Structure 1
Amino acid sequence: MIQLHDLEFVPFISSKEIKNRVVELTKKIAEDYKGETPVFLGILNGSYQFLASITSHYKADCEVEFTKLSSYQGIHTTTCVRQLIGVENLKNKDIIIVEDIVDTGNTLVSIVENLKALEVKSYRVATLFHKPEAYQKNIKLDYVGFEIPNKFIVGYGLDYDGLGRNLSEIYQLKH
């Protein structure tokens, strides 16, 4: 068990399980983009570890870009998504949106709207974690690492008010 700020978290998914799943997802992405040069678009801050893991296993040509959005306050998602850092020069490119977690889908809708406005060639979504119980949108998730219950998690890039991103495994809020 670990404590971050005022909350306690218990182990949920090991670093070995995460690594194995990332390798599987990366192989699938490489198959789907054979002969292409996709742009991995990491959504900061949470996706940084997932994106680094994907690209370290991705052996073909690719580009990496980042954007920063925010929809969380404490342990709760909000309906307000703020774009903090925009992206440019993506016109006519194949984009792989790299998310740490998709729960309600509000952030994802905002990203897709921005990409359409930038006239990208195509986009697909890769997320390490998906909460089907919380998902309220109909954007296809092309590469999903783990489907998890609608409970708050930290680690491997995900945080609780700034803490826990550096953990190599996933912890779930203790109830």
Structure 2
Amino acid sequence: MKVLYSPEAIAARVKDLAATLNKSFADTKLIHTVVTMNGAAVFAADLCRQLSVPQVLHYTGGSYFKGNIKQEIAMNPETLPTNFHLAPVLVIEDILDSGNGIRQLRQILGTRGAGPITVVSLFKRIGSPALADHTAFSLPKELFVVGYGLDMDGRYRELPGIYSLENTLITATMGTC
């Protein structure tokens, strides 16, 4: 494994993102935070603890990969409120790729009365058409990463940094997130 981002580099970037979000939500009484995918859980935990605005947390999603092969998956709206009552929503993503997943989620949130939607992502793939308001790091399109919540078949989530697995590239694409 090759270290891409140390725990210290990640912590510094999360702190910067939290400061930016705290300014954005300074006059907000409550936000709904939607964490997509298991891979975003560690990033979300670190980020949410540094936010000063009260939050209601929700989790949605599934797995986009089997090994290092991309698969199509739809967002799971069953875990989300049926009405957000125009409250602001913060979406926390692990990796923005094709943008299909975040596009689906924006549509779902819109039909459920979400107020302004802010998207923050740990990674955005270089060349991705997906729209994020804030991104921690960029990621080459073909690089497969693990650690800091990101996994390969359930392994490596516990690693404190972010690593590339040597000789492991994304090998096939169906519909992707």
TM-score range, shorter chain: 0.7 to 0.9
| 3-state SS of paired residue (1:166) | coil
CA deviations on 1:77-110 (whole Å, 9 max, x unpaired) are 2244352753014231100100111112221112
Partner residue, 2:155: 163
Question: Following superposition of structure 1 onto structure 2, how do residues 80-99 of structure 1 map, counting pairs within 5 Å?
Answer: 80-83=73-76, 85-88=78-81, 89-99=83-93
Q: Aligned partners of 2:161 and 2:110: how far apart in 1?
A: 34
Unaligned runs of 5+ in 1: 1-8
Instruction: Return the match for 1:25 from 17, 26, 33.
Output: 17
- The letter for the 1-side match of 2:139 is I
Q: Aligned partners of 2:101 and 2:51: how far apart in 1?
A: 25
Which deviates the most, 79-88 or 25-34?
Answer: 79-88
Deviating above 4 A after TM superposition, structure 1's stretches of 4 or more consecutive aligned residues are none
Q: Aligned partners of 1:108 and 1:82: how far apart in 2?
A: 9
- The letter for the 2-side match of 1:169 is G
Unaligned runs of 5+ in 2: 168-177
Q: Is the 8 A contact 2:58 2:79 kept in 1?
A: no
Residue 67 in structure 1 maps to residue 63 in structure 2 = no
Q: TM-score, normalised by structure 2?
A: 0.85
Partner residue, 1:119: 113
Name the structure where strand makes up a greater proportion of residues. Answer: 1
Give, in angstroms, the shift of residue 74 of structure 1. Answer: 1.9
Q: Aligned partners of 1:123 and 1:104: how far apart in 2?
A: 19
Q: Is the 8 A contact 2:89 2:118 kept in 1?
A: yes
Q: Is the 8 A contact 2:146 2:157 kept in 1?
A: yes
Give, in angstroms, the shift of residue 32 of structure 1. Answer: 0.5
Q: Is the 8 A contact 1:70 1:83 kept in 2?
A: no
Partner residue, 1:173: 165
- The letter for the 1-side match of 2:67 is G
Question: Following superposition of structure 1 onto structure 2, how do residues 99-138 of structure 1 map, counting pairs within 5 Å?
Answer: 99-133=93-127, 135-137=128-130
RMSD between aligned alpha carbons? 1.7
Q: Is the 8 A contact 1:71 1:81 kept in 2?
A: no
Give, in angstroms, the shift of residue 20 of structure 1. Answer: 0.3
Q: TM-score, normalised by structure 1?
A: 0.86
